[in-house]
């Protein structure tokens, strides 16, 4: 069993129970150290799964760290992608990678992405992070093995909250139907998820009876008793004729007293003090070179920063946010505006907010916080975006005003057909929040960075789409969509704090763009600009226009400042907060009056750019009028882990990139003149 030499088939190392226990302990330490160095990540669930991980990588699975793609290896599928650091220390302890390197976790350019990506690190079998997909992948792998006459096993690690995803049960049915005895699923039953206890968020028990009824063999164990874990994995391997699930009772945060059974430690990383305390409890204070490894992480970070800065467009001075004494700006996450609006408008008895196990961080829970009378209109449906979307349609059909929200990748992509058929085709009054959208969600990495959601949402008939530019505008937009606008509606906002560039007096009219003009450099950034409805803006013979959405509006404003200071160019910025229905008139006027239109979106280029250039090319009134267009946005690539503002640079969606593009287009315009 276990670690093999794939050429000879010989076992290269066997571990005793005591050695496995010791390995699990050491892995807990490296895991917490990596999380501390990253400054984010999931402590609770990685710790609950660690004894199983040690047993799996060092004892149960047959694989060869020197030959990670050995065709006869057992596959280990991390369906529970947020526990990626657990996977990495599993690979590290087994020798697939150096344990020390894992300290670069979640940093820009690291193979140790926030959620696993098989194309970045040998030994990682699949890319995961969107819960509930791993068992389906395992079914595919198991069927492929059967077709190829191979006898390896496919181990699939899942969480108990993850069992709320309907897809898990489709896969369970398939595995049972095909008698896939090459699948061994392991459920880390720590009984907690993000919003609290699984039984309260959405009960999944009795899991043993459920899996049995789907034709599975069920083995229940204490997931922290190493002997039981090892025995269960051996027994599972011997089962014939049906898939096996090991239900492992565990404790979230296991091994560190102040993390154990605490929902708050789900998506949290320890600071240095907490790390030291944790390592002391684990008896590892002397065994792990904390300072040396944190210094290694810092060196990796410094190199990433150096490379990034070298790639940035440079001007005569540093225009970055709050880099100078003037043009100071306050920052706040746009999501806060969403929560504020729900808190203030949620008294309307028709409003029903649907929880999808990410309630605090997307602020949808502000709807009921401190307002017990609203509790009955808060409906937790767990990690089940597809069903929740159709349930929202049902609520709306009965006259309610449902609000659903999650990471935009899960609330506007995973459930796309439900949005399309049950909500949009039926033309029902549902507000969908695409939270944590764009690359600025940062270290979580590609799986959590929605960069395509606007394509989907804009493409749906009946759907309205709003992408507000700051927290203040998000509040106004949410209030409008909630209570004024009837029909399917999508609001997109972000997690990271971004500049506040509007105030209570700034106009917000659904479907109407705002025109923003730089007046003069000021102490406060927001005071340097004048904003009015685009329809009320008189032509000032500006040199160019920038049409921006969401957090790209502040970047466009900063670009206008750079362009004025460095080149004397005058810029008309259009804040196109309502992307659908689009303010065609404002765009066509900007094209006609300035001759250059640059679009800026924190999204794959196209949701905004192609719509705007389509309007321009189809406009009869612009026939024969020279208009140059340019697009700033993500260039057909997936996101990556990194700090939010690093990613703004890496994906070339900063003011500096807009300004650089403007200079390029101005040169063209002058040439044509
Ligand atoms: C499809 C999908 N929806 C939502 C999330 C956000 N999310 C990450 S972890 C998590 C809770 C997972 O709970 P559980 O499976 O019990 O894992 P554990 O509590 O052991 O960490 C959620 C909702 C996600 N990653 N994927």
3-state secondary structure 519-579: CCCCCEHHHHEEEEEHHHCCCCCCCEEEEECCCHHHHHHHHHHHHHHHHCCCEEEEECCEE
Report, as an integer, the average pLDDT of 304-328.
97
Burial of 373 by CB count in 10 Å (0-12 exposed, 13-18 middle, 19+ buried)? exposed
Question: Within 225-313, where are the H helices?
Answer: 226-238, 272-281, 290-311
Predicted pLDDT of residue 673: 66
β partners of residue 524: 328
- Give residue-wise pLDDT tens across range 622-667: 999 999 999 999 999 999 999 999 999 999 999 999 999 999 999 9
CA of 276 to the centre of ligand 1 (A): 27
Residue whose token pair is 């996101």: 639
Q: For the chain, what percentages of helix, strand and coil (3-state, to nearest 5) are there?
A: 45, 15, 40
Strands 3-4, 11-13: parallel, antiparallel or unpaired by DSSP?
antiparallel
- Give residue-wise pLDDT tens across range 563-597: 999 999 999 999 999 999 999 999 999 999 999 99
User: Are the beta carbons of 367 and 378 closer than 8 angstroms?
Assistant: yes
CA of 132 to the centre of ligand 1 (A): 9
What is this structure's pTM? Answer: 0.97
Residue 2's pLDDT band (cuts 50, 70, 90): confident
User: Is residue 501 predicted with pLDDT exceeding 80?
Assistant: yes
CA of 262 to the centre of ligand 1 (A): 15
Taking CB atoms within 8 Å and a gap of at least 24, the contacts of 647-651 are: 647/108, 647/439, 647/440, 647/442, 648/439, 648/440, 648/555, 648/602, 649/308, 649/309, 649/311, 649/312, 650/108, 650/308, 650/311, 651/439
User: Is residue 102 predicted with pLDDT exceeding 70?
Assistant: yes
- As a whole number of angstroms, the distance between CA 482 and CA 486 comes to 8
CA of 194 to the centre of ligand 1 (A): 7
Nearest atom in ligand 1 to 133's CA: 1
Tokens at residue 174, please? 């398939």
Predicted pLDDT of residue 547: 99
The best mutation among 357, 362, 433, 445 to test binding of ligand 1, ranked by most ligand atoms within 8 Å of the C-beta, falls on 357
Nearest atom in ligand 1 to 160's CA: 16
Q: What are the φ/ψ torsions at residue 151 (nearest 5 degrees)?
A: -120, 15
β partners of residue 574: 515, 547
Of 407, 406, 478, 476, the residue nearest 440 (C-alpha): 407
- Give residue-wise pLDDT tens across range 205-218: 999 999 999 999 99
Of 198, 210, 251, the residue nearest 384 (C-alpha): 198
Is residue 78 within 6 Å of ligand 1 at its C-beta? no
- As a whole number of angstroms, the distance between CA 368 and CA 370 comes to 6
Report, as an integer, the average pLDDT of 465-487.
98
User: Are the beta carbons of 122 and 68 closer than 8 angstroms?
Assistant: yes
The best mutation among 35, 82, 203 to test binding of ligand 1, ranked by most ligand atoms within 8 Å of the C-beta, falls on 82
Predicted pLDDT of residue 137: 98
Those residues with Cβ within 8 angstroms of residue 288's Cβ, 6 or more apart along the chain or in another chain: 26, 29, 30, 33, 279
Which residue lies with its CA nearest to atom 17 of ligand 1? Answer: 159
Of 198, 203, 234, the residue nearest 48 (C-alpha): 198
Tokens at residue 459, please? 């493409």
- Give residue-wise pLDDT tens across range 530-540: 999 999 999 99
| Dmax (CA) of the chain | 80
Please state, rounded to an integer, the average pLDDT across all residues of the chain: 97
Is residue 157 within 6 Å of ligand 1 at its C-beta? no
User: Are the beta carbons of 375 and 401 closer than 8 angstroms?
Assistant: no
- How far are the Cα atoms of 51, 179, 598, 612 from residue 609, in angstroms, in the given order? 50, 50, 8, 5
Report, as an integer, the average pLDDT of 264-268.
95
Q: What is the SS3 assignment for 473?
A: helix
β partners of residue 183: 154
Those residues with Cβ within 8 angstroms of residue 549's Cβ, 6 or more apart along the chain or in another chain: 467, 469, 575, 576, 577, 579, 600, 601, 602, 603, 608
Is residue 85 within 6 Å of ligand 1 at its C-beta? no
Residue whose token pair is 């320890």: 270
- Exposed e or buried b for every residue in 403-435, given b needs 16+ CB within 10 A? bbbbbbbbbbbbbbebbbebbbeeebbbbbbbb
User: Are the beta carbons of 89 and 53 closer than 8 angstroms?
Assistant: yes
Tokens at residue 252, please? 């979230």
Report, as an integer, the average pLDDT of 400-405.
98
- Exposed e or buried b for every residue in 125-145, given b needs 16+ CB within 10 A? bbbbbbbbbbbbbbbebbbeb
User: Is residue 1 predicted with pLDDT exceeding 80?
Assistant: no
Predicted pLDDT of residue 672: 84
User: Are the beta carbons of 234 and 59 closer than 8 angstroms?
Assistant: no
- As a whole number of angstroms, the distance between CA 547 and CA 515 comes to 9
The number of beta carbons lying within 10 Å of the beta carbon of residue 532 is 14
CA of 77 to the centre of ligand 1 (A): 16
User: Are the beta carbons of 547 and 563 closer than 8 angstroms?
Assistant: no
């Amino acid at each position: 069993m276990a670690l093999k030499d794939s050429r000879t088939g010989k076992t290269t190392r066997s571990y005793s129970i005591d050695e496995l226990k010791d390995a699990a302990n050491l892995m807990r330490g490296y895991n917490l150290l990596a999380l501390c160095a990253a400054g984010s990540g999931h402590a609770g669930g990685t710790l609950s799964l660690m004894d199983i991980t040690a047993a799996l990588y060092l004892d149960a699975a047959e694989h060869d760290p020197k030959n990670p793609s050995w065709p006869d290896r057992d596959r280990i599928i991390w369906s529970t992608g947020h526990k990626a650091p657990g996977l990495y220390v599993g690979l590290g302890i087994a020798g697939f990678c150096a344990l020390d390197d894992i300290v670069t976790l979640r940093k820009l350019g690291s193979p140790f992405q926030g959620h696993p990506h098989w194309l970045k690190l040998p030994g990682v079998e699949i890319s995961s992070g969107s819960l509930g997909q791993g068992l389906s992948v395992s079914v595919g792998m198991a069927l492929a093995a059967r077709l190829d006459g191979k006898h390896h096993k496919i181990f699939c690690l899942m969480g108990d909250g993850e069992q709320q995803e309907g897809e898990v049960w489709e896969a369970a049915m398939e595995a049972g139907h095909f008698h896939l005895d090459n699948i061994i699923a392991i459920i880390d039953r720590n009984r907690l998820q993000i919003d609290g206890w699984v039984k309260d968020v959405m009960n999944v028990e009795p899991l043993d009876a459920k899996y049995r009824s789907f034709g599975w063999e069920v083995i229940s164990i204490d997931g922290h008793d190493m002997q039981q874990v090892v025995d269960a994995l051996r027994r599972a391997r011997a089962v014939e004729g049906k898939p096996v699930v090991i239900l492992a009772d565990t404790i979230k945060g296991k091994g560190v007293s102040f993390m154990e059974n605490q929902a708050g430690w789900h998506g949290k990383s320890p600071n240095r003090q907490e790390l030291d305390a944790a390592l002391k409890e684990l008896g590892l204070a002397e065994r792990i070179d904390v300072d040396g490894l944190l210094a290694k992480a810092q060196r990796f970070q410094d190199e990433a920063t150096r490379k990034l800065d070298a790639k940035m467009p440079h001007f005569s001075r540093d225009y970055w946010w709050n880099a100078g004494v003037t043009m100071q700006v306050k920052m706040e996450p746009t999501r806060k505006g969403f929560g504020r609006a729900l808190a203030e408008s949620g008294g309307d008895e028709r409003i029903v907010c649907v929880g999808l196990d990410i309630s605090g961080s997307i602020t949808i829970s502000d709807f009921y916080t401190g307002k017990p009378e609203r509790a009955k209109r808060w409906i937790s449906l767990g990690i089940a975006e597809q069903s929740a979307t159709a349930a929202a349609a049902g609520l709306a059909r009965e006259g309610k005003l449902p609000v659903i929200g999650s990471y935009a990748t899960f609330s506007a992509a995973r459930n796309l057909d439900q949005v399309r058929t049950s909500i949009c085709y039926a033309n029902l009054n549902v507000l969908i929040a695409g939270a944590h959208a764009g690359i600025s969600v940062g270290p979580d990495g590609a799986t959590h960075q929605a960069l395509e959601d606007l394509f989907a949402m804009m493409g749906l008939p009946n759907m309205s789409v709003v992408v507000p530019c700051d927290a203040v505008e998000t509040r106004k937009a949410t209030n409008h969509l909630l209570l004024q606008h009837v029909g399917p509606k999508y609001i997109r906002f972000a997690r990271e704090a971004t500049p506040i560039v509007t105030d209570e007096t700034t106009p917000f009219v659904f479907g109407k763009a705002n025109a923003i003009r730089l007046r003069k450099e000021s102490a406060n950034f927001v005071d340097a600009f004048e904003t009015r409805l685009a329809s009320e803006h008189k032509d000032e013979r500006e040199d160019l226009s920038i049409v921006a959405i969401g957090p790209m509006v502040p970047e466009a404003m900063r670009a206008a400042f750079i362009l004025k200071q460095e080149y004397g160019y005058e810029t008309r910025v259009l804040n196109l907060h309502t992307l659908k229905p689009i303010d065609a008139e404002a765009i066509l006027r900007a094209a006609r009056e300035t001759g250059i239109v640059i679009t800026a979106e924190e999204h794959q280029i196209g949701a905004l750019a192609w719509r705007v250039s389509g309007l321009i090319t189809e406009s009869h009134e612009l026939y024969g009028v020279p208009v140059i267009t340019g697009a700033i946005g993500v260039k057909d690539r997936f996101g990556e882990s990194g700090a939010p503002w690093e990613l703004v640079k890496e994906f070339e969606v900063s003011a500096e990139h807009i300004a650089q593009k403007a200079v390029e287009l101005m040169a063209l315009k002058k040439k044509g003149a």
